């Protein structure tokens, strides 16, 4: 008996290659992969929502300060000491600046006082110079006037006239010295000498320069009572007096002394002339 023929189904031309066969996936694996995917998507969704919420509402965080340790406390103490020292240094510097400003102010005031004193001295010196110049002009004028009207040679005296001259001079002791005065209670040096010798009829020039040219020259080692002493050059003497004996002379000295008797050794004369 012949076996029935089984129709042959044509096979794919790649059916014999294993790598091209697509294995079937089981239902459990498919479900697991779907769950994982869903979980991932859910996580992403939640993260996105949380990020949006965070962007909309700021989160306030509370920071807890660290507890002071021994080292940190020491650093704080050192910083406080440094601040206190800096303040003390600043205060000391301020005091020094104030002291320096005060010293500068006092120095400025002292300088102003010194300048005023210097100006006052300068003015006084200028006034004294001016007065001296005026006195010199006055004496020069007097000398010129008297030299034209008076002889420089004394006339012969009468007997016993020296005593009269000395008596007159001593009677004037204590009178004032005033430049240009001619008595009876105030004199200058030459007016006193002129008035004394006029008592015995001797006419002398008015000023000391001309009186030093009168009579006869006498060496200082040979002077006698009644000789006229002069100080300065002959013909240019600036002061005169009369020798009264015992190393003394009488003159109208200056404004502070007036008419006095003085020791010749204390103020030696330059020369002497004799008219009696």
Would you state the pLDDT for residue 211?
Answer: 98
C-alpha of 168 from chain center:
60
User: If you write DSSP's letter for every residue of 186-238 in order, what string do you get?
Assistant: EE-HHHHHHHHHHTTT----SSHHHHTTSSEEE-GGG--TTPEEEESSTTS-S
From 240, 164, 171, 173, select the one nearest 202 (Cα to Cα).
164
Name the CATH architecture for the domain at 154-274: Alpha-Beta Complex (3.90)
Would you state the pLDDT for residue 94?
Answer: 83
DSSP label of 182: B
| pLDDT per residue as tens, the chain (276 positions) | 555 555 555 555 555 545 445 555 554 554 445 444 445 444 444 444 444 444 445 545 555 555 556 677 777 677 777 888 888 887 888 888 888 888 888 888 888 887 887 787 777 767 766 765 665 555 445 444 433 333 333 444 444 799 999 999 999 999 999 999 999 999 999 999 999 999 999 999 999 999 999 999 999 999 999 999 999 999 999 999 999 999 999 999 999 999 999 999 999 999 999 999
Encoded tokens for 42: 């859910």
Phi, psi angle pair for 231, to nearest 5°: -120, 130
């Amino acid at each position: 008996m012949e076996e029935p023929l089984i129709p042959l189904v044509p096979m794919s031309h790649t059916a014999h290659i294993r790598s091209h066969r697509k294995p079937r996936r089981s239902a459990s694996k498919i479900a697991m992969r779907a769950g994982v995917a869903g979980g991932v998507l859910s996580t992403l969704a939640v993260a996105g929502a949380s990020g949006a919420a965070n962007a909309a509402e700021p989160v306030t965080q509370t920071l807890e300060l660290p507890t002071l340790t021994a080292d940190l406390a020491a650093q704080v103490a050192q910083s406080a000491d440094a601040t206190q020292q800096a303040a003390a240094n600043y205060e000391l510097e301020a005091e020094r600046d104030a002291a320096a400003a005060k010293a500068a102010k006092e120095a400025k005031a002292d300088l102003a006082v010194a300048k005023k004193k210097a100006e006052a001295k300068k003015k006084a010196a200028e006034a004294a110079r001016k007065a001296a110049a005026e006195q010199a002009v006055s004496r020069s004028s007097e000398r010129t006037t008297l030299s034209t009207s008076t002889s420089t040679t004394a006339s012969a005296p009468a007997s016993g006239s020296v005593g009269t001259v000395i008596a007159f001079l001593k009677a004037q002791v204590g009178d004032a010295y005033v430049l240009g005065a001619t008595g009876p209670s105030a004199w200058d040096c030459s007016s006193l000498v002129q008035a004394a010798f006029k008592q015995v009829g001797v006419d002398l020039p008015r000023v000391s320069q001309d009186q030093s040219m009168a009579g006869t020259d006498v060496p200082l080692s040979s002077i006698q009572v009644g000789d006229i002493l002069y100080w300065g050059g002959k013909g240019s003497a600036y002061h005169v007096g009369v020798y009264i004996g015992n190393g003394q002379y009488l003159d109208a000295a200056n404004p502070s002394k007036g008419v006095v008797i003085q020791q010749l050794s204390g103020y030696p004369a330059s020369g002497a002339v004799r008219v009696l």
